[in-house]
Amino acid sequence: MVHIEGITKSFGSKTVLQNFSLNLEQGERFVLLGRSGCGKTTLLRLIAGFDRPDRGSIAIEGKPINLLPIEQRPIGFIFQRHALFPHMTVYDNIAVGPRVRGVDESTLSHQIDELLEMTHLTGLRTAWPNQLSGGESQRVALARALINRPKVLLLDEPLSALDENLRQNLREELTRIQEACGITFLFVTHDRAEAMSLADRMAVLEGGRLLQVGTPQELYDQPRHPFVAGFLGDVNRVTGKVERVLEGRIFIAMDGLQRTFLCDKTSEISIGTAVECYIRPEKITLLAETQNTAEPNQLPGLLENRIFFGDHFLYKIKLDNGKRLNVHKVQPVPFKIGDRVKLVIKSSDIFLFPSLAGEADG
């Protein structure tokens, strides 16, 4: 549906996007997730036509749009700031684009009434922007973009200025509206919870590079890059070296511990390679140190602290080599601070990456 191929964009000496390629499917909610300055908004501006790429091509439904002026692109755009015209009612704000195109008022009124119903704004047809809440203003901006019947709607952090409760409600509203209208949504955010709750598929960007594309669950459970693993959720990090590879398992000699970890083999890796093992805190089982288990990955340690966060408990464990790991549990475990405990980790719950430092650290 949207085909982006080999896009590169620089501003002066700074390259913001480097050989960037991405395909969007018809009718999906696709989210670009990354830190500020990683190239997310630049990509939207290139698709919309506000900027031109230095290299590469952009096509919608097989038709190149690189050289099309902004007004001829089948695209809607919603910014961080909804920028409603303060001297116009809700109805007139939505009607701006169609009136420029010469749509007759009878047809326009019918179309706007349909959109007001879809966006739950029916009672605000004659309201002024200063009478609207933040969420209502953003839904008016959404209706104003949808009235032009775009093939793709670009949303540049449209919820960032709203409080958390309102953001959560509007995420649900955006999902409902997108499913009702069937338009492809390309949504930009730096908020991982927002990305994962909105996306059919998503991509993680860093430094102008696309690190991974997939469903939210795929990226969370099967990250292919250490940045993706850490950006999408909390992780513990331990280091070691590959000792041997045998029958789909990788044996890791852990730094500072007389222990060997077993990891599932998900990519080719050589014996002697320094590696980093990323482990999500909620994937760790916490047992008494003396309790037996058949799982091979076991780490003894001391329970140093317990913190209650409302929806989970955080347990801080000091290993025998001095390293500290975090464990998240929804229900409290029957241990007190100062107890000796055992951390148990399944081989399938370890994300293994070559060490960024190039060698194991202790």
pLDDT at 358 > cutoff 70: no
Q: How is residue 185 written in tokens?
A: 């949504």
In which residue are the tokens 């069937």 written?
182
Q: How many CA atoms lie within 13 A of 100 on its CB side?
A: 8
Average pLDDT over residues 261-289: 92
Q: What is the mean pLDDT of the chain?
A: 92
In which residue are the tokens 């749009």 written?
65
What class, spelled out in words, does domain 234-354 have in CATH?
mainly beta
Per-residue pLDDT reduced to its tens digit, 286-304? 999 999 998 889 999 999 9
Per-residue pLDDT reduced to its tens digit, 242-254? 999 988 889 999 9
Candidate from 19-33, 186-200, 262-276 with smallest mean pLDDT: 262-276
What class, spelled out in words, does domain 2-230 have in CATH?
alpha beta
DSSP readout, 133-168? -HHHHHHHHHHHHHTT--SEEEEESTTTTS-HHHHH
Domain range annotation of the chain: 2-230, 234-354
Question: What is the pLDDT at residue 98?
Answer: 93
Question: What is the pLDDT at residue 258?
Answer: 81
Of 167, 207, 210, which is closest to residue 191 (Cα–Cα)? 167
Question: What is the pLDDT at residue 73?
Answer: 94
Candidate from 114-118, 132-136, 239-243, 321-325 with smallest mean pLDDT: 132-136
Average pLDDT over residues 180-206: 95
User: Which letter does DSSP use for residue 30 in this model?
Assistant: E
Check if the beta carbon of residue 352 is closer than 8 Å to that of residue 266.
yes
Q: How is residue 147 written in tokens?
A: 């009235």
What is the pLDDT confidence band of residue 362, given thresholds at 50, 70 and 90? very low
pLDDT at 350 > cutoff 50: yes
Average pLDDT over residues 342-354: 94
Which residues does residue 87 pair with via DSSP β-bridges, in sequence order? none
Helix residue ranges, H only, 182-247: 192-198, 216-221, 226-232
**b (16+ CB within 10 A) / e for 100-135:** eeebeeeebeebbeebbebbebeebeebbbeebeeb
Strands 340-344 and 298-308: antiparallel
**Alpha-carbon span 57 to 90, nearest angstrom:** 37
Average pLDDT over residues 105-128: 94
Check if the beta carbon of residue 100 is closer than 8 Å to that of residue 147.
no
Q: How many CB atoms lie within 10 A of CB 67?
A: 8
What is the pLDDT confidence band of residue 95, given thresholds at 50, 70 and 90? very high
Question: What is the pLDDT at residue 282?
Answer: 97
Of 278, 270, 266, 265, which is closest to residue 238 (Cα–Cα)? 278
Q: How many residues does the chain have?
A: 362
